[in-house]
Amino acid sequence: MHVFEHLRLHPERPQLRQVRRAADLLRQGLFVAVPTDTTYALMCRPDATDAVAAIRQLRRLDDSHLWAVACADLSMASACVRMDNHAHRILKRCLPGPYTFILPASAALPRRIFGKRRDVGIRMPDHPVCRMLLEECGEVLLATTLLLPGEDEPAFDPDEFVPQLKHFSCAVLDAGWGGIVPSTVVDLCDGEPVLWRDGAGDWPA
């Protein structure tokens, strides 16, 4: 059965009822477009096979795509990745914030999504809507930027991207215009930080 919901929220004081509805739809196996501190992102539960397939279809992603894992806090992140004390200090200093940190994935992440990749990006967005959603869900969510095929910049205006999402079983948490500058990506897999992408977060932080 096709389900689509356009949920409008205040960007700074999100309505809990709307966030709880989005969390319920995530538990039902749908994906959700969520505002973050950088851009809008598409998020779903790691075990939501149909939602993962729908996001791949929408964004035309191949198996080499590096998914991020959105977390509410560091304890949640530690269940998904392996991090030493040095990496933990960096994440504690920079998160929540506009960064994605690449770390070795733990065995808890499903191989059917990550394939042969053994690394994953950790995101902890500093946005009231996203933070409330992650806390309400109480678990990590897969995340990827809402970048539509053929576009050079992430989709930022819900009035424009909602018509392209409403054909999928999903929900949009609409908090107004989002950003177009993606997160700064830093690789921490080999000890010393390596800047992959210069984005919204200043680096060195």
Residue at 139 is within a domain: yes
The residue type found at 129 is V
Confidence of residue 114 (pLDDT cuts 50, 70, 90): low
Count of the separate structural domains present in the chain: 1
Residue at 177 is within a domain: yes
Q: Is the pTM of this model over 0.75?
A: yes
Domain with 31, as residue range(s), is: 4-197
What is the layout of strands, in order, in the sheet containing 40-44?
4-8, 170-174, 31-35, 40-44, 141-145, 68-70, 119-123, 99-104, 184-187, 194-197
Identify the CATH number of the domain in which residue 102 sits. Answer: 3.90.870.10
Strands (E), 77-204: 99-104, 119-123, 141-145, 170-174, 184-187, 194-197
Tell me the per-residue pLDDT of 23-62, one tens digit each, with 9 for 90 and over: 999 999 999 999 999 999 999 999 999 999 999 999 999 8
